Amino acid sequence: MILRQFHFLRGTYSDVDGHHAWSLILDGSAAEVEPAAVKPWNALLSPRKAVLSPPPEATAGPPRNSRPAPGPGAMFLTLLFWAGVVLGAPVRDAADRFYDPEVVQAIRLEIKPEDLDRLHRALPERIYVPATFRWTGLTLHPVGVRYKGNSSSGPDSPHKRSFLIAFSEFKTGQRFLGLRHVALDNGIQFGSLFSERLITDVLRGVGVKASRCNYARVYLNGKPAGVYVNVERIDRSFLERHFGSASGALFKVDEGGPGADLRYLGSDPALYRKAFELHSGNEVEAFAALLEFIRAIDTPTGTRAELSQILDVEGFVETTAVMLFAGAFDQYTGWGPHNYYLYRNPTDQRWTYIPWDLDVGFSDNAFGRVPVLEGWHAAWPAPVPGRPLMERLISDPVLRQRYREEASVILETWFRPEVLIPKLRALYGQIRSALAEDPYPPRRVTVPSDSGFEDILSSMEKFIRDRYALARAQLDAPGNRPTPKPMPSGPEQEGPRPGPPSVDAPSDLRAVKVTVAGVELRWVDHAEGEVAFLVQRCTGGECADFVNTIGQGGQNLATAIDRHVQPGMTYRYRVYAVLPTPQGPRGTGVSNVVTVTIPDNQIERK
């Protein structure tokens, strides 16, 4: 169903596919609103919110927490509010066809051999080279193409590489269906061929501002490059579509860093520049607004009203629930305070939290270390204590209850096994034949035992069932806030290992900063021709069972940050370099060992 809107004149009630909805009679113009972005009339009068168009599989009965519909007289009380809801939804545009979730696109890239060679030789730096982009009869040339993502930045990566296409890189103002960029994710590491599709579909379904997403078969110079996730880039085109303007401040938090957990570090913008990358807006004004936002977030005595004046609280609450149910732990709402954007809407000056890089999900004990189910309580959704925004959410009784009610509806509407598992299988059905020509084997790093697509699907289905059952029980009986569950050291991972003591081993390893948000390490590099550094960690003051914890590709590196820490825990670290040899990667000797204890409050050691 499409709702056409412009100037609101009057409304009528109807039933569409078993779901209550308004049909708006308008004065004729042309903007179209996605069904998933429109909320049903009965949700407007209820503290529990449903959605207009849950997945087709969700026809086995009403959500657990649905309520009787109000009578016709109550409907008209919501008309003015409805106009605001509809006008605030993203309008349909030409790119909807490109992101049609039922279509596997075919995208052809043509790059000269010498430019492909330049792309590879520049790694780990990711540079743009000119290329030709073709899609269903449309040809754009020249466009800029570069590799994207950490999995594509290693010079010796054996996997297919992700691509980012920038249409105006070499031709100013060039657009493709109104888009400035196209992002093609390789789906290699974490089962993201399915995770990213499922998570973005739910986010958009509940009304969160999130990327459109589908699949694409990519051909490079006429040869199959593989099956990719075609995910909408968070850029000015995205902002214009969702907010009507891209003139506000847009920050990207990629690898994290100081302040990424939204702790206020002081009034100097330089303290935050490592974590917050400005993508839109005046630099001085944007950082001033960001620091004021973080200061207000990191104020435990702040009120709900004050929080609502600076943040889209509803969107963040919904995002928190979706991330938890999907097991998307590598997010601010999970264990990793990164992989998000912040946008300040120029219309109301409120900030919106926009999640991205949603390839991690639907696995318990990920990497053998992350206790996604046992350590992430559905009624107390803060697995890592001390993050200011999460603490504001769960420490305020009204906000906490509001989250639980939203989470309950989202769980029943989108994450019941009988809803989500058929959708997962349908996604696999979309690309099963295309995967036959994918030149790279299926892989899922988060669960090493998943060695093929059937293994991946079976493992994800088990997670879906377990997560639903546990979350339902926790939301029904929240109890007291649970004690944080530390991440145990996992078994030794595949890959390079340290060699015997050597003169090219790193030295003078030290912890230069220790906070509840992470440990910043520095060392002296003595290697020549290295391709990476690996930081090893073990847990406990006397531990010796070191495992590879942080890998960084490149030469002359001398710093790393471990963000996966737990308050009150003691860790030991050491580091070694990785050298290329004809027999494969070889590790140097290890550095000295440093021992740190994570504070259990906001006191820092510098």
Tens of pLDDT, residue by residue over 318-353, are 999 999 999 999 899 998 888 999 999 999 999 999
Q: How many domains are there within the chain?
A: 3
Instruction: Decide if 516 is inside a domain.
Output: yes
**Average confidence (pLDDT) over 561-565:** 83
Instruction: Decide if 490 is inside a domain.
Output: no
Residues 155 and 54 in one domain: no
Q: Is the pLDDT of residue 401 over 90?
A: yes
Residues 413 and 401 in one domain: yes
Instruction: Decide if 493 is inside a domain.
Output: no
Within 60-188, residue ranges assigned H as helices are 72-75, 79-87, 113-122
To the nearest whole number, what is the mean pLDDT of the chain? 81
Instruction: Decide if 605 is inside a domain.
Output: no
* pLDDT computed for residue 529 by the predictor: 84
According to DSSP, the β-strands at 181-185 and 162-166 are antiparallel
**What H or E segment, with its residue span, contains residue 330?**
none
Q: Is the peptide bond prior to 142 cis by the omega test (within 30 degrees of 0)?
A: yes
Residues 81 and 100 in one domain: no
Instruction: Decide if 554 is inside a domain.
Output: yes
Q: Is the peptide bond prior to 124 cis by the omega test (within 30 degrees of 0)?
A: yes
Contacts with 547 (C-beta within 8 Å, 6 or more apart), sequence order: 489, 490, 491, 492, 493, 536, 537, 538
Residues 566 and 438 in one domain: no
Instruction: Decide if 229 is inside a domain.
Output: yes
At which of 70, 92, 114 does a domain end? 92
Q: Is the pLDDT of residue 99 over 90?
A: yes
* pLDDT computed for residue 27 by the predictor: 28
Residues 327 and 256 in one domain: yes
Residues 473 and 513 in one domain: no
| Residue 435 pLDDT level (bands cut at 50, 70, 90) | confident
Residues 100 and 32 in one domain: no
Residues 457 and 592 in one domain: no
Q: Is the pLDDT of residue 278 over 90?
A: yes
How many helices and strands (H and E) does the chain possess? 13, 23
Q: Quote the CA–CA distance of 185 and 227 in Å, as a whole number.
A: 9
Instruction: Decide if 495 is inside a domain.
Output: no
* pLDDT computed for residue 363 by the predictor: 87
pLDDT (tens digit per residue) in 69-86? 434 433 333 333 333 334
Q: Is the pLDDT of residue 42 over 70?
A: no
At which of 427, 452, 485 does a domain end? 485
* pLDDT computed for residue 159 by the predictor: 76
Higher pLDDT: 435 or 210? It is 210
Residues 470 and 536 in one domain: no
* Residue 219, domain extent: 95-485
Higher pLDDT: 575 or 12? It is 575
At which of 92, 111, 134 does a domain end? 92
Residues 533 and 416 in one domain: no
Angle made by CA atoms 208, 209, 214, in degrees to the nearest 5: 100
Q: Quote the CA–CA distance of 545 and 337 in Å, as a whole number.
A: 26
Residues 282 and 154 in one domain: yes
CATH, residue 565: 2.60.40.10
Instruction: Decide if 494 is inside a domain.
Output: no
Residues 197 and 318 in one domain: yes
* pLDDT computed for residue 514 by the predictor: 92
pTM value is: 0.70
**Average confidence (pLDDT) over 502-527:** 92
